[in-house]
A and B are shown apart, each in its own frame.
Chain A
Amino acid sequence: MSATQFGSQTDTAARAGGAAGGSGGSGGYGGFGVGAPPVTTVATPSLRAVLRRSSFWVIAFGCIVAVAVVAVLVSGGSNVAGRALAGDNPAPAGSMALVEVLRQQGVTVTLANSLAEVRDTVGNDSTVFLYDENGYLDGDQLTDLAGLAARIVVVAPDFLSLQALAPTVGFGGVSDAESLTANCAVPAANRAEELLPGGNTLSIPEAAEHPLVTGCFASSTDTFSLVQVEHDTTGAIVSLVPDARVFNNENVTGYGNAALALGLLGPSDSLIWYLPTLADLPRTGPPSLSEITPGWVSPALVLLALVAVAAAFWRGRRFGPLVAENLPVTVKASETMEGRARLYARSNARLRALDALRIGTVQRLARAVGLGRLAHLEDVIGSVAVITGSAPEGVRRVLVDEIPRSDAQLMALSDALQALEHATGRAVRAGAVPAAEVSASASREFVSPPAERMDP
């Protein structure tokens, strides 16, 4: 079917529909967009339009990222909060200055993080710089270390280090000397002449005169800021520097700190800069979950997470926009009646409720006995009493006099009202129509709510 043909057909259909739209049937046809093929506009913006519209945000985001990258690069990727005395830390607490100077002097400095790395790189004539700030190494590891290197410089030794490397040396407290001068036979100390005052010291007990122990930079007779010991078993020379500040970037240039550091660390071509880490802790307990799971588990989990995201997009993508609709108000007409009933019940308005029931009953009775809607109450009572053959006092009691004191009485009176209505209805039927016709008309009589209510 060509477009023109199609258009003309629908035009006739529309005309025919206009004429036949007669009794509100569904015959009429009103074409929308019939005739020549219209240009259909697209509501969804194209990718290019989206990009153009959001270009400001894209550029803004790009600028923010660029600024962030530049900022990181300018700050040199500095590990400002890096580890103290780390060889690659340019912060004041680091030791990058010292390491770089040593490298410029031709010393091969290797940064090590675990004893295994030290063991891999150590040579016959290596010097090991050890600063175990957190006390990761235990005694055995320290003893091993002493056996590995020819020279060990221990900075700020703790109790275990002293036990393992220099059992005769103890702690000496904080130095209170104004200045620290070398005064000893260690060449590096002599070249340094003076040291940063005020740090921790180590003590050499006078009683234990040990030939292999040398103390320098004395604060008092038995406390020193540098103690050099020859290890008992391995013969390694262990230099103990209790004050870590001597080596850091901030203080290394003051006094003779640099001379001492270079002298202690620079005698050989190979220096191992060893700061112990968690990797040095001995492994205990059962194997962790990651050790016993196969290697493919993590990638599979990543893939399944991606699948979940993809499935969310698959199911969640809506099929075009929704069309809004105004909904009509819906109120049940009987709400006011229900509300009034609840009010009666909550306030125990028995008499008021009963009054409503009584008035309704009286009106129905009046109609049943053939009196008008406006009949006097006494006439209704009299007629009903006569027709049902009961005492007028009883009828009056039910219809007017008795006041309910409790819910039980209210229910009894309500039942009495209904009984009276039924009795009247029966009596009227029995009296009005012959007995043979009562059964025939019974079904009509019992049609309970009248479909159409018209007042008589």
Chain B
Amino acid sequence: MTLTGRFVLLCALGVVPIVLFGPDLVAAAGVLALWLLLVLVLSGIDLALAASPRAVTVQRILPARVRLGESVTSELYLTNTGRRRLVAVVRDAWQPSAGAGRNRNRVVIPRGERRLVSLTLTPFRRGERRVEQVTVRSRGPLGLWNRQATLNAPGRIRVLPPFHARKHLPSRIARLKELDGRTSVMVRGQGTEFDSLREYVRGDDVRSIDWRATARRNDVMVRTWRPERDRRVVILLDTGRTAAARVNNEPRLDTAFEAALLLAALTSVAGDRVDFLAFDRRVRGRVQGASGAALLSQMVDSMALIDPELIEMDWAAVPGQVRGITSQHALIVVLTSIDAAGASTGLLSVLPQLTKRHTVLVASVLDPATVEAAATRGGRAEIYRAAAAERALLDVARVSAAIRQLGADVVTASPAQLPPALADRYIALKAAGRL
């Protein structure tokens, strides 16, 4: 039961008769008592005539998933099984970050009928957003009192990572196709394998003219090349404590998601096989053996539920995990953070095991605020800040050098630049035939 503003107003209006008809204390008190009695009687009538919110049955239709930043419509069907006409306000109890807005809907449902309450959800956090209950506040005919009941109507919607980096995909695919020989401009790289012969068109590299074939066909023929295909790429995501840090108001983990998605999209276009593993001390997410559209869909699905864990990454278990995925030579892309030498000892200690069999690429987010601070030398405080930033950059450089010395490759970039930088490095490795 709840009361309304109209009830409060009605109570307050009692001042008028009290002032008008109550010259002395006793008469005024009498008027007050009469007024309260009147208000109570009206409230009782109103409450008795309000439709029961318990007689409402709820059906919910929800889209299973939505990409972060997009909006979806949640549909709620309310059926009035009671005997009276229901005039009510309905609240759908979503988690705050589901972005349900004001979430108060007026409905009028005659007895035995059903009405739709639709709600636009714009989630602003990744993960699984839940809804537990529906609260119905049924108004009496006088609008003085409401009957309120909360009905169980659970539901959930999976909010996927946004994949903003897909804007970089077309340009990278174009470069991949240049490698592939499918464009007229041929780029011939070391380690590419022979594909086929075709007629010469203007713009082709004259060095790729196959003179023997030209002699046979009596037409100028060129050899086309294509990069190696069906290589293995393993994307390993560090979801330990360092992934929780925010750079440019974006957790490192989310940047890693973007980079992993762009790389996976590119890799599947290039014809390589991608396996994805999110790991800290246990496996948080794993996608294996998928390809094409299903790959990205499975990846975002498993990423949606991953949050950084405040525990140290177990690097010693990583080679075993990689062995479990593939025994062939593969490109291992490790998305982690390179900070100080002390924090990276775990990574450095297992790199030799990985680089012995595989090509390893370590990608890390570099804080642009650090680079900026290193160049800002205003006053005393800023100089010390610049010194600390310079020290941090030196640490990153030292760890990067150590990683390179162990035979792996390093990519560091600001959050916005890391996904395309990683994609470029992948294309470069592919062109170099190092996959």
Contact = CB atoms under 8 A, between A and B. Distances in A.
A310 B144 CA distance: 12
A23 B297 contact: yes
Interface of A: 1, 6, 10, 13, 17, 21-34, 37-44, 46, 294-296, 298-300, 302-304, 306-307, 310-311, 313-314, 317, 319-325, 328-334, 336-338, 340-342, 344-345, 352-354, 356-357, 359-360, 363, 373, 407, 410-411, 414-415, 418, 448-455
A19 B181 CA distance: 33
A33 B64 contact: no
B37 interface: no
A307 B11 contact: yes
A10 to B, nearest CB: 6
Interface stretch (B130-138, B170-178, B193-201, B321-329): B130-138
Interface in B378-401: 379-381, 383-394, 396-397, 400-401
Main DSSP-derived SS at the B contact region: mixed
Given A304-B15, A341-B384, A26 B60 contact: no
A426 B414 CA distance: 27
B251 interface: yes
A37 B383 contact: no
B208 interface: no
Contacts of B417: 451-452
5 contacts: A25-B67, A333-B365, A353-B387, A356-B391, A455-B410
B244 A314 contact: no
Interface of B: 2-5, 7-8, 11-12, 14-15, 18-19, 22-29, 31-32, 35-36, 54, 56-67, 70, 72, 77, 79, 89, 91, 93-97, 104, 114, 125, 130-135, 137, 148-156, 160-161, 163, 244-247, 251-252, 293-294, 296-297, 299-301, 307-308, 310, 339, 365-375, 377, 379-381, 383-394, 396-397, 400-401, 404, 410-414, 417, 421
A367 B64 CA distance: 53
B13 to A, nearest CB: 9
10 nearest A-B pairs in the assembled complex, by CB-CB distance: A320-B135, A353-B387, A449-B371, A30-B64, A24-B300, A295-B24, A341-B388, A333-B245, A296-B28, A360-B390
Contacts of B410: 454-455
B150 A323 contact: no
Given A304-B15, A314-B4, A359 B383 contact: no
A310 B36 CA distance: 12
A438 to B, nearest CB: 22
B380 A407 contact: yes
Nearest to A39: B57
Nearest to A24: B300
A30 B62 contact: yes
Contacts of B366: 453
Residue in A360, A407, A450 with the greatest tally of chain B CB atoms within 10 Å: A360
A1 B301 CA distance: 33
Contacts of B391: 340, 356
B4 A303 contact: no
Given A17-B64, A356-B390, A303 B14 contact: yes
Contact of B61 (A10, A338, A359, A454): A10
B150 A451 contact: no
Contacts of B93: 320-323
Contact of A334 (B7, B308, B369): B369
Contacts of A322: 93
Contact of B293 (A22, A39, A345, A455): A22
Given A43-B149, A332-B246, 10 more contacts: A10-B61, A34-B59, A296-B23, A303-B36, A307-B12, A319-B104, A323-B133, A344-B388, A345-B381, A452-B414
Contacts of B77: 6
A453 B413 contact: yes
Contact of A306 (B36, B149, B375): B36
A319 B137 contact: yes
A28 B64 contact: yes
A31 to B, nearest CB: 5
B308 A42 contact: no
B35 A303 contact: yes
Contacts of B401: 373, 455
